Amino acid sequence: MVHFTCDLCGKAILAAEDLRYVVRIEISAAKDPLEFTEEDLEEDHMAELSQIIKQQMNGMTSQDLHEQETKGFRFDLCSDCQKKYLKDPLSREASRHLNFSEN
């Protein structure tokens, strides 16, 4: 039998009794189109591109390169935490309520 636990509060989620919500988050590099001028198209940029690629890939495996581009996360939530998550998915309110001592 598969057991689920809420990834926010730690409560056990019983498959037969409780609703379970799944949150999937995917983070990927934004690939905005570049703007080119006529001068850009006339220049030969191959040497410059080659040097940039070498610098970025120095010591990196193909797995490292892939991990830089896309990351995914999956979380199980109970009903109470699902409601809280929908109200503040980026936890902006939680960060405003940090209380530091007066030391």
| Chain segment 68-95, per-residue pLDDT in tens | 678 889 999 999 999 999 999 998 887 6
Q: What are phi and psi of 25, to 5 degrees?
A: -125, 130
Number of domains into which the chain is organized: 1
Task: Return d(Cα 43, Cα 87) in angstroms, integer.
Answer: 51
pLDDT the model gives residue 7: 96
In which domain, by residue range, is 24 found?
Answer: 1-29+67-91
**Ranges in the chain, pLDDT < 50:** none
Tell me the percentage of the chain whose pLDDT exceeds 70. 81
pTM for the full predicted model:
0.59
Q: Is residue 58 part of a domain?
A: no
Looking from the CA of 97 toward its CB, the CA atoms found within 13 Å total 4
SS3 55: helix
SS3 78: coil
Cβ atoms 72, 24 nearer than 8 A = yes
CA 38 to chain centre: 37
pLDDT the model gives residue 10: 96
